[in-house]
Chains A and B, each alone.
Chain A
Amino acid sequence: MTIPADLKYTESHEWIRTEPDGTLTIGITDHAQDALGDLVFIELPEVGRTVTAKENCVVLESVKAASDAYAPVAGEIIAVNTPLTDSPETLNSEPYESWLFKLKPAADSTTGGLLNASDYALSIGER
């Protein structure tokens, strides 16, 4: 499985990129899309919604199962990748290019608790 070294991760298989302006871009990992199988529906959250850490905010429906993606930290949803809802299969083919939503972290939240690439690899049973 691909696990880019420059991203952070959660145990619930989200990847997180911290942008230069401090906002976070979030998607799901290669491991997650492989486990889900072909994706058929993606339900994105509303822009402006406030979320707490680990709150489910995206519904991912594949042929196999329904799954949720979670906010890695508390904050406000500032953008969602609307075109993805018309072609959910790109999330399977390009998991790291297919971001789901962008988050402005709450003032008191930190990305310190997120996993680095090697810790995420360990968590999914890979070296």
Chain B
Amino acid sequence: MPDVLKRTPLFAAHQTAGAKLVDFGGWEMPLHYGSQIDEHHAVRRHAGMFDVSHMRAVEVHGAGAAAFLRQTVANNIDKLTTPGRALYSCMLNPEGGVIDDLIIYFLTPTHYRLVVNAGTAEKDIAWLEALRLKGAYEVVLTPRYDVAMIAVQGPQARRIVGEMLPEAATAIAAMKPFNSATVGELFVACTGYTGEDGFEIIVPNAQAVIFWERLQAAGVSPCGLGARDTLRLEAGMNLYGQDMTDLTSPLESGLAWTVDLKTERDFVGRKALQAKPVAMQMVGLVLKAPGVLRAHQVIHTTKGTGEITSGTFSPTLSQSIALARIPVGIAVGDTVQAEVRGKQLECLVVKIPFVRNGQSLL
């Protein structure tokens, strides 16, 4: 009996739009709708949309919600003081490895919303339930299977979404990054995975197709996972399962900024993190010569060897870029060698991100 891939409420819309469908973490998702490079440019120059319904929203309700999250995630939810504010964080295991990265939305003092990755959702939910039981927290966890999620990203995204939701036009025009608002039956968050302005919108399943079609009619281009990967890499954003895993520390994955050690707050993984010396760092690489850097290619440096975790050809920069885990002691501006198809190719170590507001930072 072959494994059946899961489908989102937008599956038929992807087929109609001519999507090339692939298996992504057990979900049948669009890789592209013709050209992932064209879709990438559509997001940087105009507006594109991604079906991210395979990701999982999880409601955290109860008097113990804040205490529960303080212990569960590495970033500090006490930074969220205004309803609607969002926080990017890792969730660690007791060894200090990364279980997942996620966004946490503060809605009320007894209601937070988490959005976790598709491939890790079941693992995350089981872990959260186990922690809830172990700590006897007064919390109810509710994974949401009744909603779809659409990310609208690009310089025109804000205008188009505001025109589509006139009852919230002022709120949408003014919403700052890492804030969110409930708009009727929708949840609109000013977050994204592209480095562009835009929103991730939670929509009831029954309304997903109509919402997608209205966005398309308003000039937003459907974009697939291929473009999603080149956009997020240009924006210097990590991909769970590639740039970090259960076996890697956030401190060696470019995520130290998401780990809050400033207070005495005890959270899962803190002791292990603070006990281990940090021997590796995550850097950005640019390949000057023709060619494409790819995950798992070996990197040679004057301080020892490392490895590319994510690599691609950047459509906006017209050259290959990568995130790599290499020994500490190598600095921005240094050169390292990447082993590409048997040859040693010179790469420049650069600051992350590579692109901001559609412009090269190189």
Residues on B with C-beta less than 8 A from A63 are 36-37, 226, 230, 292, 312-313
Give chain A nearest CB distance to B20 CB in angstroms.
8
Residues on B with C-beta less than 8 A from A59 are 341
Give Cα A36 to B32, complex, Å: 12
Residues of A1-53 at the interface with B, using a CB-CB cut-off of 8 Å, are: 34, 37-38, 40-41, 43
Q: In this complex, what residue of A is CB-closest to B38?
A: A38
Output the residue of B31, B32, B292, B294 with the most chain A CB within 10 A: B292
Q: In this complex, what residue of A is CB-closest to B312?
A: A63
The number of residues on chain A lying at the interface, defined by a beta carbon within 8 Å of a beta carbon of chain B, is 13
Does A124 lie at the interface of the complex (its beta carbon under 8 Å from any beta carbon of B)? no
A40 contact from B20, B31, B226, B292, Cβ within 8 A = B292
Give Cα A55 to B193, complex, Å: 42
Does B291 lie at the interface of the complex (its beta carbon under 8 Å from any beta carbon of A)? yes
Does A76 lie at the interface of the complex (its beta carbon under 8 Å from any beta carbon of B)? no
Residues on A with C-beta less than 8 A from B291 are 41, 61
Determine if B313 and A61 form an interchain contact, defined as CB atoms under 8 angstroms apart. Answer: yes
A-B contact count (CB 8 A): 35
Does A54 lie at the interface of the complex (its beta carbon under 8 Å from any beta carbon of B)? no
Interface residues on B, range: 10 to 19
Starting from the known contacts A40-B292, A41-B291, A63-B37, 20 additional A-B residue pairs (CB-CB under 8 Å) come to A34-B20, A37-B31, A37-B36, A37-B226, A38-B35, A40-B313, A41-B290, A41-B313, A61-B291, A61-B292, A61-B313, A63-B226, A63-B230, A63-B292, A63-B312, A63-B313, A66-B292, A66-B341, A89-B35, A89-B37
Determine if A38 and B37 form an interchain contact, defined as CB atoms under 8 angstroms apart. Answer: yes
Give Cα A40 to B32, complex, Å: 16
Does A92 lie at the interface of the complex (its beta carbon under 8 Å from any beta carbon of B)? yes
Residues of B participating in the A interface, judged by any CB pair closer than 8 Å: 20, 31-32, 35-37, 226, 230, 290-292, 294, 312-313, 341
Output the residue of A37, A41, A43, A63 with the most chain B CB within 10 A: A63
Q: In this complex, what residue of B is CB-closest to A42?
A: B290
Residues on B with C-beta less than 8 A from A66 are 292, 294, 341
Give chain A nearest CB distance to B138 CB in angstroms.
48
Give chain B nearest CB distance to A86 CB in angstroms.
11
Q: In this complex, what residue of A is CB-closest to B341?
A: A66
Give chain B nearest CB distance to A84 CB in angstroms.
13
Residues on A with C-beta less than 8 A from B31 are 37
30 A-B pairs within 8 Å (CB atoms) are namely A34-B20, A37-B31, A37-B32, A37-B36, A37-B226, A38-B35, A38-B36, A38-B37, A38-B226, A40-B37, A40-B292, A40-B313, A41-B290, A41-B291, A43-B290, A59-B341, A61-B292, A63-B36, A63-B37, A63-B230, A63-B292, A63-B312, A63-B313, A64-B226, A66-B292, A66-B294, A66-B341, A89-B35, A89-B37, A92-B35
A41 contact from B20, B35, B292, Cβ within 8 A = B292
Q: Is the interface of B mostly helix, strand, loop or mixed?
A: mixed
Residues on B with C-beta less than 8 A from A43 are 290
Give Cα A63 to B294, complex, Å: 10
Give Cα A5 to B60, complex, Å: 61
Give chain A nearest CB distance to B300 CB in angstroms.
20
Q: In this complex, what residue of A is CB-closest to B227?
A: A63
Residues on B with C-beta less than 8 A from A64 are 226
Give Cα A61 to B226, complex, Å: 15
Give chain A nearest CB distance to B265 CB in angstroms.
42
Give Cα A66 to B320, complex, Å: 13
Residues on B with C-beta less than 8 A from A61 are 291-292, 313
Give Cα A63 to B226, complex, Å: 8
Give chain A nearest CB distance to B86 CB in angstroms.
30
Residues of A57-78 at the interface with B, using a CB-CB cut-off of 8 Å, are: 59, 61, 63-64, 66
